[in-house]
Amino acid sequence: MYSVVPKSHLIKQTSKLLPLLLIALLFNLDANSLAAEHAAKPEPKPAVLSPDNFVGKASLGYAAAKEIPEVCSKLFCYCGCDMTDSHSSLLDCFTCEHGVDCTICQDEAIIALDLKKKGLTLAAIQKEIDDAFQNQYPWQEKPSPALEKYRGSVKETPVNPKESAKLSKTESFLNLKAQPGVPAKGHRSGACCGHNHS
């Protein structure tokens, strides 16, 4: 039937297993915490290059991207670098030397900073940049997957009338429209990507 195990025997067996159980428990917790630690940390984005490395409008573009990286990472760059350099946002243009010779990248960043300083929301900034630069995109006939993804992520939010009043300084530039393949009046296309230069 049932055999009675002496208490001392149970204590010996338990004391032999206890260290093994503790090690297993610690290993499991350590593995779980390591997995959680790695899952919780998003991959760091490359830093914007220092504006001090550049001069003129290029320096202003890098300074703008450095000041508002959270905005630039949510804007599409219409110079065509999504196709030529695999960029997924305007911020990518300023984490390398791409933004040095591209006036589209520079203008988008500088204007976005100006609009942010005026208190516009991200949705309003996206709308203004998109309206001003989308016709500069060199591959109008077949938008890239990056552009399609961006368009799908942009919220169709009407611009608040109070925000419209804040556009005074940049409004005239932002309302310049370009014909496909032709730079807007007074605006030179970037010396990069898919643009033809004369």
Question: Which ranges of the chain have pLDDT less than 50?
Answer: 31, 34, 168-190, 196-198
SS3 category, 185: coil
What's this model's pTM, rounded to 2 decimal places?
A: 0.65
* Buried residues in 97-134 as b, exposed as e (16+ CB within 10 A): ebbbebbbbbbbbbbbbbbbebebebbbbbbbbbebbb
Listed by start position, the domains of the chain span 1-41, 51-174
> What pLDDT, on a 0 to 100 scale, did the predictor assign at position 164?
54
Using one digit for the tens of pLDDT, what is the confidence trace for 147-175? 999 999 987 655 555 555 555 444 444 44
> What pLDDT, on a 0 to 100 scale, did the predictor assign at position 35?
53
> What pLDDT, on a 0 to 100 scale, did the predictor assign at position 114?
98
User: Shortest CA distance to 110 belongs to which of 123, 125, 98, 88?
Assistant: 125
> What pLDDT, on a 0 to 100 scale, did the predictor assign at position 46?
83
> What pLDDT, on a 0 to 100 scale, did the predictor assign at position 165?
52
**Whole-angstrom distance, CA of residue 184 vs CA of residue 103:** 12
> What pLDDT, on a 0 to 100 scale, did the predictor assign at position 163?
53
